[in-house]
Amino acid sequence: MQPMMRVFGAALASSALVLGMAPLATAAEQGQAQPEFKVGAIDWKPCEEVPTIDCGFLTLPIDYAKPNGEKFQLAVSRRKANDPAQRIGAMVINPGGPGGSGVDFSFGADRYFSKEIVDRFDVIGFDPRGVARSQPIKCSLDLLQKSPSEYPKSKAEFDRLVAFNKELRADCRKQSGAIFDHASTRDVAHDIDSIRRALGEQKINYYGVSYGTIMGQHYAEQYGRNIRAMIIDSNMDHSLGTWKFLETEARGADDMFNEWVKWSDRTPASPFYGKDLRKIWKDLLARADRGELVDESGRKITAENLGANVVGMGYGPSFKPFADWIATLVAGAPAPAKAFAAGETAENPFAGIFCNDYNLRVGSWGEYQALNALENRVAPNTRGSSIGHGAMMGCVGFPKATNAQRPLKIKNAPKILLTNSRYDTATVYEWAVNAHRQSRDTTVFVTYEGWGHGVYDRSECTLKINNEYLLSLKLPRNGTTCAAVEPPLEPAVLSAKPKVTVGPF
Give the model's pLDDT for residue 347.
74
Bridge partner list, 93: 125, 207
Give the model's pLDDT for residue 493.
39
Indicate the pLDDT class of residue 334, thresholds 50, 70 and 90. confident
The secondary structure of 345-382, three-state, reads CCECHHHHHHHHHCCCCCCCHHHHHHHHHHHHHHCCCC
Q: What is the pTM of this model?
A: 0.91
Average pLDDT, the chain: 90
Give the model's pLDDT for residue 376.
98
Distance CA 98, CA 108 (A): 19
Distance CA 406, CA 401 (A): 12
Model confidence at 344: pLDDT above 70: no
Report yes or no: 97 and 502 within 8 Å, Cβ to Cβ. yes
Model confidence at 284: pLDDT above 60: yes
Indicate the pLDDT class of residue 498, thresholds 50, 70 and 90. low
Report yes or no: 96 and 214 within 8 Å, Cβ to Cβ. no
Using one digit for the tens of pLDDT, what is the confidence trace for 289-304? 999 999 888 899 999 9
Report yes or no: 443 and 435 within 8 Å, Cβ to Cβ. yes
Considering only 149-158, 316-325, 370-379, 496-505, which range has the smallest mean pLDDT?
Answer: 496-505
Distance CA 502, CA 210 (A): 11
Model confidence at 497: pLDDT above 60: no
Indicate the pLDDT class of residue 320, thresholds 50, 70 and 90. very high
Give the model's pLDDT for residue 8.
25
